[in-house]
Amino acid sequence: MSSNKKYWKSVEELDQNSSVVETLKQNEFVQEIPTDEFLGDKASLESSSTTRRDFLKYVGFSTAAASLAACEGPVIKSIPYVVQPEEIIPGVANYYATTIADGFDFASVLVKTREGRPIKIENNTMAATNGSANARVNASVLGLYDSLRVKKPMKGDAEISWEQFDAETNQALTDAMNSGKEIVLFTQTFASPSTSRLIADFKAKYGNVRHVQYDAVSESAALDAFQAKYGERGLADYDFSKAMTIVSVGADFLGDWQGGGFDSAYAKKRIPDHGKMSRHIQFESNMSLSGANADKRVPVTPTQQKMVLAKLYAEVVGGSVSVDLPENILQAVTKTASELKSAKGKAVVVTGLNDINAQTVALEINEYLNSEAFNTASPIKTRQGSDKAVSTLVSDMKAGKVGAIIMSGVNPLYTLPNAADFAEGLKNTKVSIAFSMKADETSTNCTYIAAAPHYLESWGDVEMKKGHYALMQPTIRPLFDTRQFQDALLKWSGSDVSYHDYVKDTWNSSILNGGSFNQALHDGVFVSNVSIDVVEEATTEEDTAEAPSTNAARALASSAKAGSGLELTLYSKTGMGDGQQANNPWLQEFPDPISRVSWDNYLTVSKADADKLGLKNVHVATGALDGSYADVTVNGTTLKNVPVLIQPGQANGSVGLSFGYGRKAGLKDEMKTGVNAYQLYSDFNNIQSVTVAAAAGMHEFACVQLHNTLMGRGDIIKETTLEIFNTYDKEDHKHGWNKIPVVSLNHEETPVTSPDVDLWDEFDRSIGHHFNLSIDLNACTGCGACVIACHAENNVPVVGKEEVRRSRDMHWLRIDRYYSSEDSFEGDNEKKDNISGLGSSLSEFGEMENPSENPQVAFQPVMCQHCNHAPCETVCPVAATSHGRQGQNHMAYNRCVGTRYCANNCPYKVRRFNWFLYSQNDEFDYHMNDDLGRMVLNPDVVVRSRGVMEKCSMCIQMTQKTVLDAKRDGREVRKDEFQTACSAACSSGAMIFGDINNKESKVAHLKEDDRAYHLLEHIGTKPNVVYQTKVRNTTEA
Amino acid sequence: MKKSYQSLEDNSTNNMKQVIYRKLTANILQLGFILLLTFSTTLNAQEGDPAKGKSIFNTNCASCHNLDRKMTGPALRHVEQRLADDHGLDREWIAAWIRNSAGVVKSGDAYGNQIFNEYSGTPMTAFPQLTDQDISDILAYTAQEAVVKKPETPENTNSEGAANGGTSNKIILWALALLFALLAFALVLVRRTLNRFAEAKGIEIPQKDKGLPLWKAFVQNQFLVLVTAIFFLLTSGYFVYGYLMQVGVDQGYQPVQPIHFSHKIHAGDNGIDCKYCHSSARVSKTSGIPSLNVCMNCHKSVVEYTGETTAEYSKEFYDGEIQKLYAAAGWSDADQKYTGQAQPVKWVRIHNLPDFAYFNHSQHVSVAGIQCQTCHGPVEEMEIMYQHAPLTMGWCINCHRDTEVKVQDNGYYEKIHEQLSKKYGVEKLTAAQMGGLECGKCHY
């Protein structure tokens, strides 16, 4: 049916004379399409003899040729050793005990090597001190394969040889000595007996030598306080497994407080045993790991912390102080004091205030309490730095008093608050030598960069705490032409022994006391009751140490005066620490346990303060988190455009900012994230008075958890109080704290465990192994070592900030962190249960999305739950995921076609999809994109390609290996021999893996424990991961 | 006959086992030669038995001495004669030296010290257990003349035979072809003659009605077209599938290796255990390509090939390959020491499993006790190594279905075997019943 109607496309067509209309009649577009831009110019197109048909022929031919060529297999070369080392069998891992001592992290570890390549760090269970690797130590193996390492000694920008380096530096040092100027050794804390001895030798040779030790994150006040009280430079050791009442005033002792490593002992007493567990009270400003784990957390500003501590002292020890604290805090302090008094020797008080009086007060309280957890006889040696000495050095350098400076393990131009002064000082110093693995901020400004080896390529020793020694040994031949600081010192001292022999000599002569060096090297650790006093410098230390006031508590209280602005607490993040490993993509992508933000640091602000200052956190359309920028000013130093994160639990009137970010030199562009908080670290005080002003623009965060509350769904994280736990049965009608969920069957409530309500028939799994993983929510501190261990073991790719922001993070194991919306999770549950009617549900569910001002916090590691009745398995159209008899949910990557049905059907959201090819792809320029970085890959686990789903395999490569070892030896698998990467990395005992068919195993008992429950049990997936109900000790003594 | 052949072996200087010749004529020829030799050796060393001497020599001396070549120690052919002629040393001196060379050196004996220093001060192992008779036997053995090996000719006869076979076949074929051609020609002739007769007799040959040509009839019959089309589709589908299924399956892959290593000579002729060289197969996932020091364990003394040769693989060829090994290992045969100039060998890997398939040799070799040949084929017959099995998943699975788990004397299997066999009601369990078909056992 034809029509005469004319349809106008635009008003333009009404104009008969419009040239546009005329042109459009002839051409589709008004303007010429700029074909020249992508096809080349017209002339060259016309001159080409290739017709369209020819072109199509070429395309067809090349496509066919390419696809035919793809059918040809590549020729793979295999190159065996010429002389195979005796201890290496290709395909079999070797383990070496060694020690990391990078000035911030000190730990005795085992290094797994394959064909001579270190590929993973594991805990050294033989170590009595610091035998557990935290997230950073776990990730440190990747630093060995950093493609940006300095490969040869350098002078300025030019690579030189070690011969030239030796000749020139020897001359320079001699010149410095002759000129009467000082030679300064500016180093990290080595805590190494051999290095101390060596430096003494060096001093003997050159005379006018000063050794300044520097900790980027200072513990100087605690050291000074300890030294003043006990006459020895060290830190009091705490064994939290001996404490039943733990009070922390601003000390994140589960984080990096005083060197860290206290968490495993702490976790021991957190598991209710015969109705008893420790009680932990935390007064703090920033929400820290310790605060998150505390039974009672009181948010206080740093100034109030001082008052709290002084008041505690007054209440416990005696004396009077006048403090100005709000009523509720005062009450909390009084209660805490009475708890401390009643616990007596079972109580301990720690503080993180970098204030000599505060530290002295803490020591005095512990001494008064006669705390069993408190040990001053064998102090911790892993922090030695002195703020005063560093300040003196900087001014001396500026004054030109220093002739030569040799640095090792420090990066002052990045970490010093007064970096500009140091830079000026460097200019006034004739020769500067930096032993560094990187061309970083400092080393690039030095005369020479002495290419230093990674700790996995070095020899060394560490005195972790008095009498507790550890050895460092190379686990790989140096990758580059490097030399360690100590070897250079030996050369300069005119000695021709290697540092290896030197260490051996030190140990044989003064540490081992007749023991075998090889045995110590094998164990990696040695505990001696003979303490050696290395007299390196007794005199200099004394005059650098400060002395506390005679009445520390009163002094502390009187010093507690709030400034006008907000109070900033600088802290170190679990992932980044002091920032040495900023070029480590694993750590950059590691989500902070508290904020769950990766690839950034940020100013943590309380909700109330944020509203006052006009700072916002919003979720954009993709769900990703955006935050306002703020300018932060301390004493006239302004840090511009600091991203702001609203942190529940942040004390009003305080803000927090972490160290370790904002590095600019010696790292890939992708890793140049965050802002440098060291600029605000004036006087090495982690507490600063700041002014915060909102700045324009919004920052894009890469936050992996976008929903922060549990919404009253108490079956995700089951928790109860110690009182209820001790009093009532778990199935108690009213107070039951771990009831089996019920579902309706024929209108009758039937427990979900009943076979009647199951869709599937149960298989018999009683034969052979049946693996289960138990996760104790009480012992888990959220430290994240398991996340990195999983990364390393399973070749999990790093996807980068943009992809994390799109929720495409690949972590097989995540640690969910939940905040309560009410004061406690209990309150959330009640609120949800009391909701009735549409109106109330709309408003109250809305409220429940917002965390409380001072929320309870719970951590929950979640990985594939390996459901016996797995929802993912039934929806896979190609049967790429299936169940094994041993309980593992298998994933055959080569079979997967990437429909992602499984991920959609997984109630735990643990499946990860490879949106891209993450290895050998320039778009993802992380370790898997260079030959060096790929050396860290575990050869037993395949690197997944684009378009396939992946997930936790319950480390099937490890269970298979354990089984094979047993088969080869012709024996049964030993009790608790099975491990996964996460359970092996967990030093707090939160993760226990094993075979439940072996009734003797720990996990078999844990599965039957009263506290045991499954995640989302009511959906009947029958997971093989079992959680232990969290119990909080809310009993106020 | 056999006995005399044995004595030929005695004369040969290598300690490799030789393959018995089958050619009667050659043996008869050699027999005379051997008899002659045996006679002459008896003349030279009256008291010793060279046959016994050889066995003692091979047990005790051969790791450092060769009759004709300098090795760790000097060459020993006619040593007694030489010492007597050049240095005036008698058998007693030799015996003393063998039993305790260090003692002789210490005593300040001139020649003893000279030889000690010549061989860079390496003392000879003392053999106090050797009796006078033993030493006589050894000396008898060393006093034998070197045998110049007669060039072998088995290939020629072989190829002749093959050539003969080939010729006869060809002739038959040609004859047949000729016969058929003649027949065809005859048929044409007959037809033509008959036609001519018919023409002559005036008989008209009726012209047959041509009808539809076959192809037109075919095209008109749509059913037939359909069936044919389906047939062609199915057939091509079959072949395409077959082609696609062999993509990536490299059965028979036989790359050229940088050194022509003959598994036939090592594992076959000399019967070396696979796991002597591929030792990591016992404990590791990889069987391991032996490092060059493993090769040099034997090839320090095995410097030339003395076995059977063919036209393609001559003795010179094999010796050249041994020289390649020396070059790679950085071994100087002349100086009997390593130069330190090693050059790792870039072997071409033959058995390539994809990354996503995990295979562990020790599970199969040590635990299951499977012969290497089960998967790798008759390696001991392979002059050039090739991939015997398809290495496809189906191939793995089939074996797992059929193979019974070796549970005897393995503490690991005791309980699980008892329970599982009860469950499945079988005496012996297959790998599949043990869980050997689960995806995750090989794919992670």
Can you give the pLDDT at residue A633? Answer: 92
Say yes or no for a CB contact (<8 Å) between B346 and A89.
no
Task: Give the pLDDT confidence of A420-443 residue by residue, as tens digits.
Answer: 999 999 999 999 999 999 999 999
Is the pLDDT score of B282 beyond 80? yes
Question: pLDDT band at B326, cuts 50/70/90?
Answer: very high
Name the band, by pLDDT with cuts 50, 70 and 90, for residue B104: confident
Mean pLDDT of A255-260: 89
Beta strands, E only, A288-413: 296-299, 347-351, 374-380, 402-408
CA A220, A225, A231, A232 dihedral sign is: negative
**Enclosing H/E stretch for B200:** helix B154-201
Residue B11 pLDDT > 80: no
Residue B292, chain A, CB below 8 Å: the answer is yes
Interatomic CA distance for residues B348 and A80, integer angstroms: 11
Residue-level pLDDT at A211: 92
Question: Which of chain A's residues have a Cβ under 8 Å away from the Cβ of B358?
Answer: 940, 957, 960
Residues of B whose CB is below 8 A from A888: 440
Q: For A145-155, what is each residue's pLDDT tens digit?
A: 999 999 999 99
Neighbours of A313 (CB within 10 A): 27
Cβ atoms of A69 and A100 within 8 Å: the answer is: no
Quick one: pLDDT band at residue B60, thresholds 50, 70, 90? confident
Is the Cβ–Cβ distance between A479 and A141 less than 8 Å? no
pLDDT at A539: 43
Quote the percentage of chain A above a pLDDT of 70.
96
A contact residues 78-107, partner B, Cβ 8 Å cutoff: 78-84, 89-92
Task: Residue A462: name the closest of A520, A386, A537 by CA.
Answer: A520
Nearest CA to CA, how far is A895 from chain B (Å)? 10
d(CA A828, CA A821): 6
**Better pLDDT: B142 or A217:** A217
Burial of residue A152 (number of CB atoms within 10 Å: 0-12, 13-18, 19+): middle
Q: How far is B428 from chain A (nearest CA, A)?
A: 16
Q: Rounded to 5 degrees, what angle do the CA atoms A738, A744, A747 make?
A: 135
List CB contacts (< 8 A) between A764 and chain B: 423
Taking 60 as the threshold, does the pLDDT of residue A541 lie above it?
no
pLDDT score recorded for residue B2: 40
Q: In sequence order, what are the beta bridge partners of A107?
A: A100
Residue A898: CB partners within 8 Å, gap ≥ 6? A913, A914, A947, A948, A949
Instruction: Specify the 3-state DSSP secondary structure of A50.
Output: coil
Q: Which pLDDT score is estimated for B123?
A: 78
Q: 3-class SS at A211? A: strand
Condensed to tens digits (0 to 9), the pLDDT of residues A566-596 reads 999 999 999 999 999 999 999 999 999 999 9
A165/A151 Cα distance (integer angstroms) = 14
A69 touches chain B (CB under 8 A): no
What value does the mean pLDDT take over residues B341-367? 91
More confident residue, A714 or A518: A518
Between residues A691 and B334, which one has the greater pLDDT?
A691
Residues 383-412 of B with CB under 8 A from A: 409-412
Chain A residues in contact with B423 (beta carbon < 8 A): 764, 767
Residue B284 contacts A, CB cutoff 8 Å: yes
Sorting pLDDT into bands at 50, 70 and 90, what band is B158?
A: very low
How confident is the model at residue A547, as a pLDDT? 64
A63 half-sphere exposure, CB direction, 13 A CA radius: 6
Structure tokens at A243: 């404490």
In chain A, % of residues over pLDDT 90: 64
pLDDT (tens digit, 9 = 90+) per residue, A792-827?
999 999 999 999 999 999 999 999 999 998 888 888
Token code pair at residue A579: 């920032």
Place B18 in a pLDDT band, splitting at 50, 70 and 90. very low
CB A380 within 8 A of CB A234: yes
Q: What average pLDDT does chain B have?
A: 81
How far is residue A758's CA from residue A751's CA, in Å, rounded to a whole number? 10
* Model confidence at A623: pLDDT above 50: yes
Q: Rounded CA gap, A705 and A645, in Å? A: 13
Domain residue limits, chain A: 11-70, 235-379, 589-703, 719-1032
- Cβ distance A73 to B248 less than 8 Å, yes or no, reads yes
Mean pLDDT, residues B371-378: 93
Q: Is A956 on the interface with B (CB under 8 A)?
A: yes
Give the number of other Cβ atoms within 10 Å of residue B56's Cβ.
Answer: 21
pLDDT band (50, 70, 90) for residue A869: very high
> In this structure, which amino acid lies at residue B232?
F
Q: Are strands A154-155 and A158-159 parallel, antiparallel or unpaired?
A: antiparallel
Give the containing element (helix H, strand E) for B217. helix B214-220
Task: Please report residues of A whose CB lies closer than 8 A to that of B439.
Answer: 880, 882, 884, 890-892, 895
Its ipTM equals 0.84
Question: Does the pLDDT at position B16 exceed 90?
Answer: no
Q: List CB contacts (< 8 A) between A80 and chain B.
A: 288-292, 344-345, 347
Cβ contact B348–A882 (<8 Å): no
Mean predicted confidence (pLDDT) in A905-928:
93
Helix axes A419-428, A387-398, angle to 10 degrees: 50
Pairing of strands B347-348, A637-646: unpaired
Which chain A residue is nearest to residue B293, measuring alpha carbons?
A: A83
Residue A386 near residue A220 (C-beta atoms within 8 A): yes
Computed over every residue of chain A, the mean pLDDT equals 89
**Helices (H) and strands (E) in chain B — how many of each?**
19, 3
> Which of the residues B257, B405, B439 would you substitute to probe the A interface, choosing the one with the greatest number of A C-beta atoms within 10 Å?
B439
CA distances from A107 to A137, A468, A953 (A): 8, 12, 28
Q: Mean pLDDT, to the nearest integer, of A481-494? A: 92
* pLDDT tens per residue across span B213-225: 888 888 888 899 9
Cβ separation of B355 and A942 shorter than 8 Å?
Answer: yes
Over residues A338-364, the mean pLDDT reads 90
pLDDT reported for residue B114: 82
pLDDT at A845: 85
Q: Please, are residues A360 and A259 in contact by the beta-carbon 8 Å criterion?
A: no
Q: Residue B285 is nearest to which of A91, A890, A967, comparing CB atoms?
A: A91
**Where does A719-1032 sit in CATH, by number?**
3.30.70.20
With 90 as the cut, is the pLDDT of residue A121 above it? yes
Q: Is A52 on the interface with B (CB under 8 A)?
A: no
Question: What's the rounded Cα separation, in Å, for the pair A270 and A781?
Answer: 10
Does residue A480 carry a pLDDT above 50? yes
Of the partner residues B283, B346, B438, the one whose CB lies closest to the CB of residue A890: B438
What are B196-205's contacts with CB under 8 Å, separation 24+?
none
Which pLDDT band, with edges at 50, 70 and 90, does B280 fall under? very high
In chain A, the residue whose alpha carbon lies closest to the alpha carbon of B367 is A968
Nearest CA distance, A132 vs chain B (angstrom) = 28
Cβ contact, residue pair A76, B352, below 8 Å: yes
- pLDDT for residue A755 is more than 90: no
Of the candidate ranges A380-389, A538-547, B202-211, the one whose mean pLDDT is the lowest = A538-547
Q: What is the mean pLDDT of residues A355-384?
A: 90
- Tell me which residues of chain B, numbers 307 to 326, contact chain A at a CB-CB cutoff of 8 Å: none
Nearest CA in chain A to B437: A884
Nearest to A893 by CA among A941, A841, A955, A838: A941
Contacts of residue B180, defined as CB under 8 A and 6 or more positions apart, other chains included, come to: none
Is A756 a residue whose pLDDT tops 50?
yes
Query: Quick check: A942 and B248 CB within 8 A?
Result: no
Fold of A589-703: Barwin-like endoglucanases (2.40.40)
Per-residue confidence (pLDDT) for residue A300, from 0 to 100: 93
User: Per the structure block, which two tokens stand in for A707?
Assistant: 């929903």
pLDDT, position A2: 59
Q: Residue length, chain A?
A: 1037
Contact A82 B344 (CB under 8 A): yes
Q: Which residues of B touch A956 (CB under 8 A)?
A: 440, 444
Query: pLDDT category, A533, cuts 50, 70, 90?
Result: low
Angle at A169 between CA A167 and CA A174, to 5 degrees: 100
Partner residue opposite A971 with nearest CB, options B345, B354, B411: B411
Nearest Cα of chain B lies from the Cα of A795 at a distance, in angstroms, of 11
Q: Is residue B33 pLDDT above 60, yes or no?
A: no
Lowest mean pLDDT among A15-29, A479-493, A819-833, A971-985: A15-29
Nearest chain B residue to A890 by CA distance is B440
Q: How many CB atoms lie within 10 A of CB A596?
A: 19
A contacts of B344 (beta carbons < 8 Å): 79-82
pLDDT at B250 over 90: no
- Name the minimum distance, in Å, from the CA of A939 to any CA of chain B: 9
Asked if B441 and A764 come within 8 Å (Cβ–Cβ), the reply is no
> Which tens digits make up the pLDDT trace of A206-257?
888 999 999 999 999 999 999 988 888 899 999 999 999 999 999 999 999 9
Is pLDDT at A192 greater than 70 in this prediction?
yes
CB of B440 within 8 Å of a chain A CB? The answer is yes
Q: Do A882 and B349 touch (CB under 8 A)?
A: no
From residue A663, how far is each of A415, A477, A982, B297 by CA, in Å?
10, 29, 30, 55
CB contacts under 8 A, A 915-944 vs B, are 940-943
SS3 for A111? strand
Residue B14: pLDDT above 70? no
Mean pLDDT of A892-904: 93
Contacts of A972 in chain B (CB under 8 A): 411-412, 414-415
Kindly list the residues from chain A whose CB atom is less than 8 angstroms away from the CB atom of residue B414: 972
Burial class (CB in 10 A: 0-12, 13-18, 19+), A26: exposed
pLDDT at B397 over 90: yes
pLDDT confidence of residue A35: 67
Quick check: B290 contacting A, CB < 8 Å?
yes
The pairing of beta strand A431-436 with beta strand A448-451: parallel
DSSP character string of A686-717: SEEEEEEEEEEEEEE-EES----B-TT-TTTS
For residues A791 and A586, is the Cβ–Cβ distance under 8 A? yes
- pLDDT for residue B317: 92
Residues 730-789 of A with CB under 8 A from B: 764, 766-768
Residues across chain B: 444
Q: What is the pLDDT of residue B3?
A: 41
The answer to whether B367 contacts A967, with C-beta atoms less than 8 Å apart, is: yes
User: Which of A784-798, A923-937, B404-418 has the lowest average pLDDT?
Assistant: B404-418
Tell me how far apart the alpha carbons of residues A387 and A215 are, in angstroms, rounded to a whole number: 9
Vertex B413: Cα angle to B410 and B415 (nearest 5): 125
Cβ neighbours, 10 Å, residue B435: 19
Measured between CA atoms, how close is A114 to chain B, in angstroms? 12
Of A890, A942, A967, the CB nearest to B410: A967
pLDDT band at A198 (very low <50, low <70, confident <90, very high): very high
Write the pLDDT tens digit of every residue in A684-700. 988 989 999 999 999 99
Q: Given the structure tokens 């793809």, which residue do they identify?
A: A70
Assess contact for B284 and B361: CB atoms under 8 A.
yes
Question: Is 80 exceeded by the pLDDT of residue B208?
Answer: no
Q: Does any CB of chain B come closer than 8 Å to the CB of residue A164?
A: no
Task: Decide which of B95 and A184 is more confident.
Answer: A184
Please name the residue that has the structure tokens 């499945």. Answer: B424
Interface of B with A in 95-124 (CB under 8 A): none
Residue A790 scores a pLDDT above 60: yes
Please state which of the ranges A622-626, B145-149, B247-251 shows the lowest mean pLDDT: B145-149
Across the range B232-236, mean pLDDT stands at 97
Residues of A in contact with B416 (CB under 8 A): 767-768
pLDDT band at B367 (very low <50, low <70, confident <90, very high): very high
> Nearest Cβ partner of B293 from A82, A895, A967?
A82
What fold characterizes domain A235-379? Dimethylsulfoxide Reductase; domain 2 (3.40.228)
pTM score, two decimals?
A: 0.84
Residues 6+ apart with CB under 8 A from A405: A183, A184, A185, A186, A397, A426, A429, A431, A432, A433
What is the tens place of the pLDDT at every residue in A374-431? 998 889 999 998 889 999 999 999 998 899 999 999 999 999 999 899 999 999 999 9
Q: How far is B137 from chain A (nearest CA, A)?
A: 38
In chain A, count H helices and then E strands.
33, 43
Measure Cα distances from B356 to A36, A939, A952, B432 in Å: 47, 11, 16, 20
| Torsion region of A784: left, alpha or beta (phi above 0 gives left; psi -120 to 50 gives alpha) | left
